[in-house]
Amino acid sequence: MSTFKALLLDMDGVLFHGDRALPGADEFLQAISHLPYCFITNNPIRTPAMLVEHFVRLGLPRVDESRFVTSGQATGEWLARQQPDFGFYAVGAAGLHQTLSQYGNYDPETADFVVVGEGEGLDFDTLTIGINLILKQGARLVCTNPDHNVDASIDGMHRVLPGGGALVAPFAVATGQTPVFIGKPHPLLYEMAMQRLGVAAPDCVMVGDRPDTDIAGAAALKMATALVRTGRFGRGEKLPSGLEPDWDCESLTALLDRWRDACPESFGTKTKAG
C-alpha cells in the first residue's frame, strides 16, 4: 500500500497507558492530521466527550468527538437495530450508562437487554437483577467487548483489570445464555468507523497493539494492519498463528518512519537533521 485513504486507531496501549501519553503519540497524531481517521476502542468506560478531555489532559491534540467510536456506542447501535426503542439494564461504568441512554431506555424491571461492560458496577445485587431479567423476562445478554482482561495504570503502577469477557461470565454461568459480544475483533466497530469516514476496508489501515482483537478483526475484513508493540503484546513476543500484520513495529515513531519511507504520497519525505 503506497497511499493511505484512511486510518483506524486503537488508543489504550497505542497512544497512552492510563494517564500517561506514550512517546511519539503527539508527533504521530500531528503527522496523520491531514488524513481521515477514527479512533475505535473496546473500552466502553469513557464517552467520546470524556475521551476528548482525556486527550487534552495527556497533552495530545484536541480532536472532535466524531472521531471516536467506542464499544458502548457500537453496542447501542446494535441494540437499536435489533429493537427500536429498547429497554436495557446495564452493569458497568457511568459512561456506558450515558451512552446507552442515547439509544434506548434504562429499565431494570422489564429490560429487553442486559448489557455488561467494563468498569465498576458488578456486585451481588446487579448480578441478581440481571439474571432475573434474563431468566424471567427473556432479556438477551450482551457484552460490550470480549477481552478477558485489560491493562491499566493506577497511581503510576501497571495493573491488570477484568475485561468485558470476564465481567459477563457470571451472568452467562448463572443463566446458561451465551452473550452476544460487540467489540473487536467483531466487525461492528470497524464498520461504524468506515461509514463515518466514507471509505471501504481495502482503503483503510488499522493501527493497534493487540493481535487477537485489533489486528485479527481488521484482517478478517481485508484491511491493512499495523501492530505496535507498546501495549500488552511486547517486543520479541511471537505472533499468534495465522496473523501477520503488514507492519510490525516497536513504537509509533518506528511505524511513522517506515510509513514516511514506504508511503511518500501520504506522508511526504521525512527531513533528517544533520
Work out whether the CA dihedral 142, 195, 5, 21 comes out positive or negative: negative
- Among residues 12, 79, 60, 70, the alpha carbon closest in space to that of 38 is found at 70
Q: Supply the residues annotated as catalytic.
A: 10, 12
Length of the chain: 274
| Angstrom distances, CA of residue 251 to CA of 22, 27, 74, 225, 243 | 9, 12, 28, 14, 19
Q: Determine contact, residues 224/244, Cβ cutoff 8 Å.
A: no
d(CA 132, CA 129): 5
C-alpha cell at 259: 510509513
Strands (E), the chain: 6-9, 16-17, 20-21, 37-41, 68-70, 87-91, 105-106, 113-116, 140-143, 149-154, 157-162, 180-181, 204-208, 224-228, 247-249
